[in-house]
Amino acid sequence: MPNPTAAMLVIGDEILSGRTRDANMHHLAGELANSGIDLCEVRFVSDVHQRIVDAVNALRASYDHVFTSGGIGPTHDDITADAIAAAFGVGLAVRDDARAILTAHYQRTGLELNAARLRMARVPDGAVLIENPVSAAPGFSIGNVHVMAGVPSIFEAMVAGLLPTLSAGKPLMSQTLRIARGEGEIAGPLGTLAAEYPQLSFGSYPYVQDGAFGANVVIRGSDGVAIDAAMVRLCALFPEATA
Amino acid sequence: MPNPTAAMLVIGDEILSGRTRDANMHHLAGELANSGIDLCEVRFVSDVHQRIVDAVNALRASYDHVFTSGGIGPTHDDITADAIAAAFGVGLAVRDDARAILTAHYQRTGLELNAARLRMARVPDGAVLIENPVSAAPGFSIGNVHVMAGVPSIFEAMVAGLLPTLSAGKPLMSQTLRIARGEGEIAGPLGTLAAEYPQLSFGSYPYVQDGAFGANVVIRGSDGVAIDAAMVRLCALFPEATA
């Protein structure tokens, strides 16, 4: 059986404006590879309601799982819950279980559960909460869409709680050979070898270092025996390279 | 006149597999902000022909410019040029001007212009070449789509040559106030202030540091006078914060 497929949707202007470098995509990609869920596509969209709605609907129709990051806080630019509800055509309201989580959290910390904070208890009808062990305000799953916070420490904690509940496939394994030759010399024999192992993916990632060209060739797949065999063949083709 | 809009398409399995952290999106986002071109959406897709074709066609119909990164090298997994030609419904062939660039480069470096390297002279019909000052093999622009290499040093050099040729808008400027309060306390007054400046974007980016919550509030726009005025108002609302 093939691995489940996934997409990610990163919501907000922060990364698109160039201010901040992505962290959540990189984290999720690594976690999904370990879980045997194939991350096939990631989209970053700005804080525009219809763009979020359209992206959610396109991705949830195309992949087994969609993971979102960002836009579920208390401020005016946090519009993700509204957009998810609109994408699914369901209502959005403060829900008792989510409110109870926030009430307990703010009582513990001595802060007021004001109107802005109460927005974080709004959940689309039919969603299941995702626990937030860092700052209480929950994420939620609706259908195959899992909605999580953008702050990296909170996103990572939510992913850690969520992933074990999803049916997983075979972990993605890889081996890398660093070859100090231009890709143009690697390409011919590599293409021939790749064609012999259709169940594996052979990626060639060129680099420039101190003015010299080389490539990291990465063999990926969930069949460890085949990866080992292909790696032996690859090393024989480029005996000067380093694994 | 509003600024031109843009999207980016990053092609390849390397980042989606979790192996490598993005660099090109972050670089382009900063350069476009400086150039007054609004980056509205970024997609990462894996090395699957139809996914690339569909993404190119969706993005070029929605935005003024589309910038792509990756998949134009000599190896079997470099399928971007084919996908771009398919998206535009035009032919793809080795072109004399591109071949001449490669011939001169490999003569200079003493390497053979073999069949794999010659693939890098294949250009969709009607495209205009983008110069590659690092490793010669050109990118190309066709319609509103600008196709560039994935190696960061080459991507950055191509962007540096390309951007001055595009009609630009007003640079995106921003000011940031770091407020050591939870977003729940910032949200109310911030939302009211944001509503008074519809020409600016107010982003609130929460953080957790040493167990304490805070937020960076970023005011963005191309009207520097309005940003200054809004920043004065924001500082008055949160006098303990640091700009």
Rounded to a whole number, what is the largest CA-CA distance in chain A? Answer: 66
Q: Is A92 left (phi over 0), alpha (psi -120 to 50) or beta?
A: beta
What is the per-residue pLDDT for A50? 97
CB contact under 8 A, B22 and A20: no
Directed axis angle between helix B152-162 and helix B24-35, to 10°? 20
Strands B139-142, B128-130: pairing kind: antiparallel
pLDDT tens digit sequence for B136-194: 999 999 999 999 999 999 999 999 999 999 987 888 899 999 999 999 999 999 999 99
Answer positive or negative: Cα dihedral of B233, B237, B239, B240. negative
Q: Determine the Cα–Cα distance for residues A57 and A84; give it in Å rounded to an integer.
A: 9
> Domain B174-237 - what CATH class?
alpha beta
DSSP B60-105: HHHSSEEEEES--SSSTT--HHHHHHHHHT--EEE-HHHHHHHHHH
Contacts of B15 in chain A (CB under 8 A): 25-26, 29
Using DSSP's 3-state secondary structure scheme, residue B221 falls into: strand
pLDDT tens digit sequence for A105-153: 999 989 999 999 999 999 999 999 999 999 999 999 999 999 999 999 9
Q: Domain A5-165: give its CATH code.
A: 3.40.980.10
- In degrees and rounded to multiples of 5, residue B181 shows phi and psi of -135, 155
Contacts of A32 in chain B (CB under 8 A): 18
State which residue of chain B sits closest to A23, comparing Cα positions: B21
Residue ranges of domains in chain A? 5-165, 173-237
Q: Between vectors from CA A237 to CA A231 and to CA A238, what angle results, nearest 5°?
A: 90
- A212 touching chain B per CB within 8 A: no
CB contact under 8 A, B76 and A190: yes
Strands A212-221, A173-179: pairing kind: antiparallel
Mean pLDDT of the region B217-234: 95
State which residue of chain B sits closest to A13, comparing Cα positions: B203
Q: Determine the Cα–Cα distance for residues A37 and A163; give it in Å rounded to an integer.
A: 10
Q: Determine the Cα–Cα distance for residues A22 and A35; give it in Å rounded to an integer.
A: 21
What is the per-residue pLDDT for A240? 87
Burial A4-22 (b: 16+ CB within 10 A, else e): bbbbbbbbbbbbbbbbbbb
For the complex shown, is ipTM > 0.95?
Answer: no
What is the per-residue pLDDT for B209? 84
- B191 touching chain A per CB within 8 A: yes
Cβ-nearest to B51 among A26, A41, A43: A41
Q: Are B47 and A42 in contact (CB under 8 A)?
A: no
Q: Determine the Cα–Cα distance for residues B97 and B95; give it in Å rounded to an integer.
A: 6
By the 10 Å C-beta count (0-12 exposed, 13-18 middle, 19+ buried), B20 is classed as middle
pLDDT tens digit sequence for B16-74: 999 999 999 999 999 999 999 999 999 999 999 999 999 999 999 999 999 999 999 99
Strands, E, within A70-198: which ranges?
92-94, 122-124, 128-130, 139-142, 145-148, 173-179
Task: Return the residue matching tokens 């279980």.
Answer: A97
pLDDT tens digit sequence for B170-185: 888 999 999 999 999 9
Q: Determine the Cα–Cα distance for residues B57 and A11; give it in Å rounded to an integer.
A: 22
pLDDT tens digit sequence for A211-239: 788 999 999 999 999 999 999 999 999 99
What is the per-residue pLDDT for A142? 98
pLDDT tens digit sequence for A29-38: 999 999 999 9
Q: Determine the Cα–Cα distance for residues A174 and A202; give it in Å rounded to an integer.
A: 10
Beta-ladder partners of A73: none
Contacts of A73 in chain B (CB under 8 A): 183, 187, 204, 206
Span A173-237 CATH architecture: 2-Layer Sandwich (3.30)
Contacts of A213 in chain B (CB under 8 A): 135
Cβ-nearest to B187 among A43, A75, A190: A75
Q: Determine the Cα–Cα distance for residues A231 and B173; give it in Å rounded to an integer.
A: 49
B:37-96 residues touching chain A, CB 8 A cutoff: 39-48, 51, 73-78
